[in-house]
Structure 1
Amino acid sequence: MPRLIVLNGPPGCGKSTLAQRYVDEHPLALNLDIDRIRGLLGRWRDDFYTAGLLARALAVAAARTHLVAGHDVVIPQFLARPDFLERLEHLAREVNADFHEIVLLDRGEDALRRFTDRSRAAADPAHVEAQQMLDRMGGLAELSAMYDRLVSMLAARPAAKVVHTEDGQVERAYREVLELLRPVPRDR
């Protein structure tokens, strides 16, 4: 059965790294990065909100196609509101895929530091862009508020599994993600 895996968490916590690691080890799995899809839209910066909605709709359509073909989909995305998560969960049920919601979470102050460090040393244009967008939205104060919204939402998402991440501990975090994806034996 194909898996729809959402890797949620604050910016800089390893979502993209772990998503890429997963697809590198699982043939034909799709790393469906919504930020990259949004970047494919012409002049998306002129209407960030509409571009985000379109990117999410395109991601759902691509995920549907890939899951129906029997292949895993990983979506690395910061999501602090439940509406898109619920949409993805519904999609998984529709196409008979396993749904996994995994939240990568570091302590608040460490998450802020990791994002700042990543932005300072950014070689990936997507990371530079993330810093620029955050600066327009309010900088570190907004990042802190985003973190708080995510933690608050977790109380309403009991099926979400949390993996505590630490800087430099990619292998440990990846092993924990894989452990959460293992099938649970069912009683006969």
Structure 2
Amino acid sequence: MARLILLNGVPGAGKSTLARRYAGEHPLTLVLDVDLVRALLGAWQDHPADAGRLARRIALAMSAVALEQGHDVVVPQYLGRLPFVEQLAELAGEAGVPFVETVLRTPLPVAVARFTERAGTGRDAAEVAAPVDDPAALVAEADAAIRAVVAARPATVVLEDVDADPEVGYRQLLTAVAAARTSAA
């Protein structure tokens, strides 16, 4: 049975790494990075709000196709507001598949260091529309926003200290996926 898996977390939490690992072990899984979809839109930087809305709609459509074909979808995305989380949950319901909603908890200094290390490498060109003057403040604000999302969605599975031991984090993800599959059956 296909699953729609959200890997939420602050920038630098390890979402993309975990998503790639999952996809590597689950053939034909769609790893859907909404920021990369947005970067495919011409002159998106000149229209960031419109580009973000369009990218999310495209991502939902791509997800629907993959789920319809019986393939998992993993969305590694920082989501500090509820609407897109709710749209993903709604899509999973419409597709009749489990929605596995997770948040990666990473110590903020580790996330800031990773985010800072990637700045200027081109790896996050799609993620950040403008240079970030204070990465620590950006990560702290993201963490506060995610905590509010988790408070509003108590079924969210929190994957603790994924950074400390990536194997443990991956096993936590697999356990959450298995639990969602069992509860949907």
Deviation track 1:56-80 (CA, whole Å, cap 9, x = no partner) reads 0000000001101111000000001
Which has the higher mean CA deviation after the structures are superposed, 76-85 or 173-182? 173-182
Paired with 1:162 and 1:57, the residues of 2 have a C-alpha distance of 26
**2:175 matched residue in structure 1:** 179
Structure 1 residues 64 and 166: CA distance shift in structure 2, 3 A: closer
Deviation at 1:147, TM superposition (A): 1.4
Q: How do 1:1-188 and structure 2 match up within 5 A?
A: 1-119=1-119, 122=121, 125-130=122-127, 133=130, 135=132, 139-167=135-163, 169-183=165-179, 185=182
- CA-based RMSD: 2.1
Q: What letter matches 1:135 in structure 2?
A: V
Q: Say if 2:35 and 2:126, in contact at 8 Å, map to a contact too.
A: no
Structure 1 residues 20 and 159: CA distance shift in structure 2, 3 A: same
Gaps of 5+ in 2: none
Gaps of 5+ in 1: none
Q: TM-score w.r.t. structure 1 length?
A: 0.87
Paired with 1:40 and 1:94, the residues of 2 have a C-alpha distance of 27
Paired with 1:50 and 1:36, the residues of 2 have a C-alpha distance of 15
Percent of matched pairs sharing the same residue: 41
Paired with 2:144 and 2:178, the residues of 1 have a C-alpha distance of 29
Deviation at 1:116, TM superposition (A): 2.0
> What SS does the aligned partner of 1:42 have?
coil
Q: What letter matches 2:153 in structure 1?
A: R
Paired with 1:99 and 1:132, the residues of 2 have a C-alpha distance of 29
Q: How many residues align?
A: 182
Q: Say if 1:119 and 1:131, in contact at 8 Å, map to a contact too.
A: no
Deviation at 1:115, TM superposition (A): 2.0
